[in-house]
Amino acid sequence: MTFITNKVTNAVFIALLSLVYGGLFLLISGHMEFLSTLPPKASVNYGFWNTWLTFIYDGGLTIIGYTILGITVAIGGLSFFGSYKKLDEYQSSLLLKVIMVSGLITLVSFPLLVINVLSEPLFAIPFTLFFVVVIWLFFQITYLLFLIKLR
């Protein structure tokens, strides 16, 4: 667990995953083949999911992709240009708790995702996209707040 004490290593790991997620969202946003896999707008009587689907159709994944990349730049800036000290035992245990809470939220919300997909298979792609966006943005924002608190 010594890798957790190095802020630069953590930032590189987060940056790599964020590049994948951000790049994926930027790539598929507005892509005709991706949009053809989605259900038609207002196809289900669920207000939130119809709004989310409209957001995807209107190119909202571009906003999410740039948001993910922007938060990644902020995390990288605070990690690389902040203090170069390694995290002490208290800080690394706090970071470990942040990671554990994020993992717990993922574990708890995954069965909800499966239930949603099984109950409405037409919305499997929007459900999964929403799941990924919420989990990854939660983790990024939590880690960014952690770095700000360390300053």
Domain hosting 30: range is 2-150
For residue 68, pLDDT beyond 90: yes
What total number of domains does the chain contain? Answer: 1
- Residue identified by tokens 């190119």 is 59
Q: In whole angstroms, how far apart are CA 19 and each of 27, 54, 92? A: 11, 25, 24
Assigned token pair, 60? 């909202």
- 8 A C-beta contact, residue 91 and residue 69: no
**How far is it, in rounded angstroms, from Cα 74 to Cα 147?**
10
- 8 A C-beta contact, residue 147 and residue 6: no
Render pLDDT for 39-62 as a digit per residue (tens, 0 to 9). Answer: 887 666 778 888 888 899 999 999
Nearest to 79 by CA among 21, 2, 9: 9
- 8 A C-beta contact, residue 102 and residue 17: no
Q: pLDDT averaged over the chain? A: 85
pLDDT value for 100? 85
For residue 70, pLDDT beyond 90: yes
